Structures are given as C-alpha cells and as structure tokens.
Amino acid sequence: MSARLTVWAPDVAFPEVRPGDDLAALICDLLAADGAATGDPVAEGDVVVVTSKIVSKAEGRVVRAADREQAITDETVRVVATRERPGGLPPLRIVENRLGLVMAAAGVDASNTPEGTVLLLPEDPDASASGVRAALRARFGLDRIGVVVTDTAGRPWRDGLTDIAIGAAGVAATDDLRGGVDAHGRPLSVTVTAVVDEVAAASELVRGKADGRPVAVVRGLARYVRAGDGPDADGPGARSLVRPSVDDLFREGSAEAYARGLADGRAEVPGGRAR
Amino acid sequence: MSARLTVWAPDVAFPEVRPGDDLAALICDLLAADGAATGDPVAEGDVVVVTSKIVSKAEGRVVRAADREQAITDETVRVVATRERPGGLPPLRIVENRLGLVMAAAGVDASNTPEGTVLLLPEDPDASASGVRAALRARFGLDRIGVVVTDTAGRPWRDGLTDIAIGAAGVAATDDLRGGVDAHGRPLSVTVTAVVDEVAAASELVRGKADGRPVAVVRGLARYVRAGDGPDADGPGARSLVRPSVDDLFREGSAEAYARGLADGRAEVPGGRAR
C-alpha cells in the first residue's frame, strides 16, 4: 500500500468554459501544458479531479439568476428540510436532487458564474467523469486512470463545507474493508471508507475556491484506480455513495417530521379513528 | 497560495500504545526516525495528523467490551436517533457525545483495540492536539506547526465513512471566504471551508485502517498553520466545527421527531387544551 500522496493543481490558466466546449479536451490541454512545464506529466494510476462547475458550464447548465428559485424547484426530487431566512430572502431549502444528493438549494450555485446567472449541477456527473477518463486515456496513452467530479456541500451537525465526489469513473468509490481484520486479528468495525469523497476533500485543499483552478491531480492511489475501458472499468460511480432511503434515519428535517407527526396525532381520535 | 500538497504516513513501525505512555514523545520519535530515513524531516508549516485511537490508548480510555453499551450511555449527552438491529444486537444509537460530535455509538470503537475491550474517544482532543504541538515545536525547534486529531465518522445521506477532525491545534479549523469574491467579482456563495476535516480525509488515504499507521504528515498548507505557542496560536480547535443547536435542522432523527409530534398531537384536544 502506498503511503504517500501528492496532490496538485496545475499552475496553468484554465479558460473560462462556455456551453458546448469540449471540456475533456480542455482538461487534456491543461494537463499537457502542466506536464510540459514541470516535466512530470499525468501518469498511470493518477486520479484527475474536476470541479462540477466547469462540467456544468460546458453542458450549458446555466439559468438566469431571476429563475433561481424555480431552478431549485425543478432540480428537486424531494424536500428534506426548509428554513426561513431573514431579510426577505427566500427560504433555505435542503432537498434531494435528481442525482440523489441531499444539498442546500439542490446544488444550484451562484458563485463563479457569469453575472445574472446561476449554475445547475451537471446532468450526469458519473457519465461526465467517464467521458473525461476516455479522453485522458486516449490523449496520454494511459491505461489506469481515474476521474472524480466534485462539488461543495454542507453537512448536518458540523459547520463548514467540504468537497465531495458527485461523479467518478475508473476509481473505486469505496474501500470495502468488511471481512478485514485489524492488527489484533479482530474484525474491522470501520468497514467502508468513502474513498472518492476523501479524494475530493484532498483536492479542494489545493484548488481553493476563488483562484480559477478547477482541476487537480492526485497521485499515490493507484490501488484504487482501474485499468481498461468501458462500464466495468468505470465502476459504479459516485452515485453508488447515495444512501438508500431504507437506511436513511434523517430523511426529513426534525421540524418537518415533528410537524407531520403532530398533524397525524391531531387527526386521530381516542380509539384510533380519524376525526 | 500553494497548489501542491504532499501527504505521507511514515514507513516506521509505531509501538502499541499503552495507558500512560507519553504519546507526544512517541510521535516525535516516529517523525525523527522517518526524517532520518528519508532525509526529509518534519518542517515549518507542516501539519501532523494523529488518529484519536492512539490518543485514547495513551489516555487509558479503554473499557471492557462487556460494558460497551453502558460506555455509550456514559458518553452520551443527547440521543439523536436510534435503530433496531437484527440478530439480537443492541440498537444502533446515534448520539451527541461529550465533545459535541454526533456519531454512531458515541464514537466508542471496537477495532484495533486489545481483545475484550473497546475504546472511548479522547477526553479533550483539542487539548491533546495542543500537547502534541508543543512537543513537536520543542523537539524539532519548529515555530509554525499544526496538529490534527482524527476520527472516522458516518454521514447522513451518504454511504461510506470519512475521517474528520475531532481535535486541532495550530491550524485554522476553517477557511472563511466570506467577503471574498470570485473570478467574476461576485461574492462567494461558498463561504466557510472546513479545512481540518479535509486534512483529516486526506490523511486517511495514506494511513489506511488496518496497517498500524496512526500518524501522517501533510505538507503544503502553511497558509493555514500558525506560529508561536499558547492558546492564541492553538486557535479554536476542532470543537469550533460543532454546529450550534440553533442552526441544526437535524437535531432529531426523522422517526424520533415524528413520534414526538404524534404524541403531542394525540395529547391535544380540539380547542387546544391537553387531555
């Protein structure tokens, strides 16, 4: 097992991405320029990490800022929790979106977008990752390469945001240690590590938010990276990290669940029949 | 801003930690041996990452496995959600523990502990991080150094576990971008990055779970690392990442909140007086 990881964001300007751009080609150009400048080109076993923002921009997932609330509604599969906000702002909505991700505002984002617009998440980030992976394999003649598409998300119970993987291809989404044993020969109680989320978090540390560095490379995780092409090599993607609803103990916000219970309780009459 | 991160787990055997061991000295010994072997010693601006497991072991936070359920109860400040488990297992309990962390089983862990025992989280991981930091500064004559204490935690809505920071000293817990602007000059809507949680996640990728590598070094984040000593240099610690309850929309599991609402609704009579 490798015990050293190198993570870098190429120090090469990335162009402003426009709808219809061949994003995979732009990423390959960036990595080629970085490799030429540093003498250390992308290599077998590397994972290339790409922000969802540039994927969305290339896909033209831009809507007018005035349509932001409608865009959130359109992206929403299920409302999880809402909260009123002061100052006449529309309520905060934490929802499950089309991708199965539970996020504030469905992941609709207003930073690093052209004035007067907001950005929706990519249509299918796992497929986008697969496309970038195929381009990297062809352009650099590599076999074993992984791609992760990231977004920034909040977490219940903890302040601050971290990057997570919303798309992945050619890299194991998880490291399943079930069946493994610890140094004492006892079964590992920590069973499944969300590898691609940890990759996304590591990449954020070199990319930053305001610096126009939408691409990073992670070296040292070849044990998680797959060779070959096609769906088997791409693997299950980041979608596989979405927890099934049957295992979700936080499917509704506390206030929402309480309100539903209260209404159900009020509707009952002693003896069990509804009023 | 640095755009390159190096993360490594020293390839040096770490002793089995016993109650009362001087953990900070053991960590310094490990890093000294690693530096001697590689010619690349720990340096100004590095962040040293330590698993909570060895902190707990040094503190003697070990209880008999037979007392596990009682230990969870003792560590619990507030029950957030519970779930029955099959096979005669005690219920899963997701609780807020003494440290403000919402975790399954209060963070009580049964892997990588001696047979017949389980391990509680450290008494005060921010203080532990501060102690390790002071030792590193003294031993290596360094001024600007950070320490993070990690644990492994689940997340609502996403399968798989990631490492988070439960203790920190000398490293900024967050990167507060509020007031910053993006490449278009617009306010950044992504405001506060949980830096130390991303550091913890990155370190997990080199440490692994079963390999007896409880220490990692992260280089390339000097912009987040503080010089000097004392409380000001230690900073607010990982405790500062605990979300205040007033901002917590998931303070109760959905089922628990619903049940409470149902009971309250049933207890009402039309007209608003309780039965």
- CATH label of the domain that carries residue A155: 3.30.1330.100
Q: Would the CB atoms of B5 and A3 count as touching at under 8 Å?
A: no
Q: Around B201, how many Cα atoms within 13 Å sit in the side-chain half-sphere?
A: 27
Whether residue A252 sits in one domain with residue A212: no
Q: Would the CB atoms of A258 and B253 count as touching at under 8 Å?
A: no
The pLDDT of residue B178 is 66
Is residue B179 pLDDT above 90, yes or no?
no
Is A91 inside a domain boundary?
no
Interface test with B, best of A254, A260, A266 (most B CBs within 10 A): A254
Chain B: nearest CA to A265, how far in angstroms?
4
Is A93 inside a domain boundary?
no
What's the CA gap between B15 and A223, in Å, rounded?
A: 26
Amino acid at A171: V
Q: Domain containing A257: what range? A: 243-275
Is residue A2 pLDDT above 50, yes or no?
no
Facing residue for A206 by CB, picked from B3, B9, B256? B3
What's the CA gap between A243 and A189, in Å, rounded?
A: 19
Chain A: nearest CA to B69, how far in angstroms?
15
What is the band of B176 on the pLDDT scale with cuts at 50, 70, 90?
A: confident
The pLDDT of residue A1 is 42
What's the CA gap between A197 and A151, in Å, rounded?
A: 10
From the list A41, A53, A171, the residue with the least C-alpha distance to A122 is: A53
Chain B: nearest CA to A101, how far in angstroms?
8
Alpha-carbon distances, residue A42 vs A22, A218, B153 (angstroms): 19, 9, 32
Q: Would the CB atoms of B186 and A110 count as touching at under 8 Å?
A: yes
Q: Count of H helices and E strands in chain B?
A: 7, 12
Facing residue for A11 by CB, picked from B3, B155, B212? B3
Is B44 inside a domain boundary?
yes
Q: Chain A residues with CB inside 8 Å of B257's CB? A: 252, 254-258, 261
Q: Chain B residues with CB inside 8 Å of A257's CB? A: 252, 254-258, 261
Interface test with B, best of A38, A188, A190 (most B CBs within 10 A): A190
What angle, 0 to 180 degrees and rounded to 10, lies between the N-to-C axes of helices A195-207 and B195-207? 130
Domains of chain B: total? 2
From the list A226, A222, A223, the residue with the least C-alpha distance to A236 is: A226
Q: Provide the mean pLDDT of chain B.
A: 92
Whether residue A54 sits in one domain with residue A34: yes
The stretch B257-267 carries a mean pLDDT of 97
What's the CA gap between A241 and A239, in Å, rounded?
A: 5
The stretch B120-131 carries a mean pLDDT of 98
What's the CA gap between A28 and A50, in Å, rounded?
A: 12
| Strand stretches in chain A, DSSP E | 4-8, 47-51, 62-64, 76-83, 92-97, 102-104, 117-119, 146-155, 158-169, 175-176, 192-193, 215-219
Plot region of A40 (φ>0 → left; ψ -120 to 50 → alpha; else → beta): beta
ipTM for the complex shown: 0.94
Higher pLDDT, A270 or A154: A154
Is B17 inside a domain boundary?
yes
Radius of gyration for the alpha carbons in chain A, expressed in angstroms and rounded: 21
Facing residue for A183 by CB, picked from B191, B212, B267? B212
Alpha-carbon distances, residue B159 vs A195, B67, B166, B169, B226 (angstroms): 11, 28, 20, 30, 35
Q: Which two tokens stand for residue B251?
A: 């303070």
Is A183 inside a domain boundary?
yes
Facing residue for B265 by CB, picked from A102, A221, A263? A263
Residue of B nearest to A268 (CA): B266
Alpha-carbon distances, residue A201 vs A3, A151, A214, A244, A257 (angstroms): 18, 10, 13, 23, 31
Is B31 inside a domain boundary?
yes
Interface test with B, best of A2, A17, A193, A205 (most B CBs within 10 A): A205
Whether residue A223 sits in one domain with residue A149: yes
Bridge partners of A118, per DSSP, are A63
Is residue B208 pLDDT above 50, yes or no?
yes
Facing residue for B262 by CB, picked from A206, A255, A261? A261
Chain A: nearest CA to B116, how far in angstroms?
10
Q: Would the CB atoms of A206 and B182 count as touching at under 8 Å?
A: no
Facing residue for B3 by CB, picked from A9, A253, A260? A9
Q: Rounded to the nearest 5 degrees, what angle is found at the Cα of B33, between the Cα atoms of B29 and B34? A: 115
What is the band of B1 on the pLDDT scale with cuts at 50, 70, 90?
A: very low
Q: Would the CB atoms of A158 and B164 count as touching at under 8 Å?
A: yes
Whether residue B265 sits in one domain with residue B149: no
Whether residue B215 sits in one domain with residue B257: no
Whether residue A204 sits in one domain with residue A140: yes
What's the CA gap between B135 and B47, in Å, rounded?
A: 13
Whether residue B247 sits in one domain with residue B268: yes
Percent over 70 (pLDDT), chain A? 91
Q: Chain A residues with CB inside 8 Å of B268's CB? A: 265-266
From the list A213, A261, A42, the residue with the least C-alpha distance to A135 is: A42
What's the CA gap between A93 and A104, in Å, rounded?
A: 6
pTM of the complete model: 0.94
Q: Chain A residues with CB inside 8 Å of B258's CB? A: 252, 257-258, 260-261, 264
What's the CA gap between A178 and B53, in Å, rounded?
A: 19
Whether residue A133 sits in one domain with residue A38: yes
Q: Provide the mean pLDDT of chain A.
A: 92
Whether residue A228 sits in one domain with residue A203: yes
Is residue A231 pLDDT above 90, yes or no?
yes
Q: Would the CB atoms of A186 and B115 count as touching at under 8 Å?
A: yes
Whether residue B39 sits in one domain with residue B163: yes
The pLDDT of residue B2 is 44
Whether residue A136 sits in one domain with residue A219: yes
The string of pLDDT tens digits covering residues A131-141 is 999 999 999 99
What is the band of A186 on the pLDDT scale with cuts at 50, 70, 90?
A: low
Q: Would the CB atoms of A254 and B259 count as touching at under 8 Å?
A: no
Whether residue B132 sits in one domain with residue B257: no
Is A115 inside a domain boundary?
no
The string of pLDDT tens digits covering residues A72-116 is 999 999 999 999 998 888 999 999 999 999 999 999 987 778 888
Is A110 inside a domain boundary?
no
